[in-house]
Amino acid sequence: MATRTATPRPVGIRTEPVLSSVLAFVAGTVSLSVGIGLGLPHLTAGSAVGAVVGLVALVAGLLLTGFAAVVLVRRVRGWWRLLVVPALLAFTLVAVLSVGQAVAATQVPRTTVGATTPGHWGLSYTDAAFETSDGVKLSGWYIPSTNGAAVAVLHGAGSTRSDALGQAAVLARHGYGVLLFDARGHGRSAGRAMDFGWYGDEDVGAAVSYLQSRPDVRSRIGALGLSMGGEETIGAAAVDTRIGAVVAEGATNRGTADRAWLSDQYGWRGTLQEGIEWLTYGVTDLLTPADQPISLRDAAAGAAPRSILLIAGGALPDEEYAGRYIGAGSPGSVQLWVVPEAGHTAGLQVAPAEWEQRVIAFFDSALLG
């Protein structure tokens, strides 16, 4: 009697081709990430077309990712499933954090200038219009100078000039001319918005040229920026010697190199975050015609010996860590003030008297001294 040989039961991953399922899963996560980065922002404040395209991508990504994940898990047997499921979840999370953020930063909904103007603060002003070196028309308000010096004031990502009126009013009360303007693609300015501030050199340079053309500006010119605007002012000072001094509040990062301190501060978690940041900015580079700028640390060194005052929110430790890392590029010209218990760009709200005293003394020394 012949002996039958038992066919071994497959162990681990089945021998069926899995490449198509893997490609489907990757495509689904990319679609999901694009949907989150495009659809959600445009759904609340952007264009109908952007919202529809984004939501279609979001739904398609969810369906494709879910289907591909089920197929992949079914093709894996035994304990291997304990590895496949978290791996798929981790891949999805990294894709959403990196690709989603890159899409959100380069496909920015148009923001609207608020109803409040410098006139509501009792300040005389005129409308300002000027053009960047690459042909983008920017729009703003100009408050005339009475002390001969002037400061360009830059708002943060997702906002407009009207969101920096409080800081501008402090400067104006002390005689500084103030140019409040919308970054490209924001408010009433033309152009395509980019919320990592990679067009900062062009925008800030055009603002400085406008201030130079004013007959009331006879002294040096400074720049004050909030969040993205702060990062733009630091970068612009490195390449534009006409900028005499910079105050940057809430400035942390606009490129991969700006996050190099994470691994030292947080160990393996920081290293992982640095990897995600590298991927985020790499994808961003593919989605925008703007060039990725030099690091803020290198920019601070390039701006020396001109002075930079960094203001960090004490309620956000990462702002202090980033500020110390930026300042290490030029310890002799960079100062760091950490405002206790302040959130992001909330120094003026939390400590108005000290904010005014420090910022005005800084600009007086750098621009009028």
What is the distance between the alpha carbons of residues 183 and 201, in angstroms, rounded to a whole number? 11
Q: What is the pLDDT of residue 115?
A: 93
Question: Quick one: tokens of 50?
Answer: 């952007």
For 137-146, what is each residue's pLDDT tens digit?
999 999 999 9
For 227-263, what is each residue's pLDDT tens digit?
999 999 999 999 999 999 999 999 999 999 999 999 9
Cβ proximity of 31 and 57 under 8 Å? yes
Element containing residue 151 per DSSP (H, E) = strand 150-154
What is the distance between the alpha carbons of residues 137 and 187, in angstroms, rounded to a whole number? 12
For 314-345, what is each residue's pLDDT tens digit?
999 999 999 999 999 999 999 999 999 999 99
Q: Is 256 helix (H, G, I), strand (E, B) or coil?
A: helix
What is the distance between the alpha carbons of residues 154 and 168, in angstroms, rounded to a whole number? 10
Give the strand pairing for 221-226 and 243-249. parallel
Q: What is the pLDDT of residue 15?
A: 44
For 147-184, what is each residue's pLDDT tens digit?
999 999 999 999 999 999 999 999 999 999 999 999 99
Q: What is the pLDDT of residue 48?
A: 75
The per-residue DSSP string of 33-88 comes to HHIIIIIHHHHHHS-HHHHHHHHHHHHHHHHHHHHHHHHHHHTB-GGGHHHHHHHH
Stated pTM of the model: 0.89
What is the distance between the alpha carbons of residues 32 and 355, in angstroms, rounded to a whole number? 43
Q: What percent of the chain has pLDDT over 90?
A: 73
What is the distance between the alpha carbons of residues 140 and 127, in angstroms, rounded to a whole number? 6
Residue 331, preceding peptide bond in cis (omega within 30° of 0): no
pLDDT band at 4 (very low <50, low <70, confident <90, very high): low
Q: What is the pLDDT of residue 289?
A: 93
Q: Give the mean pLDDT of the chain.
A: 91
For 33-86, what is each residue's pLDDT tens digit?
888 888 777 777 666 777 788 788 888 888 988 888 888 888 777 777 778 888
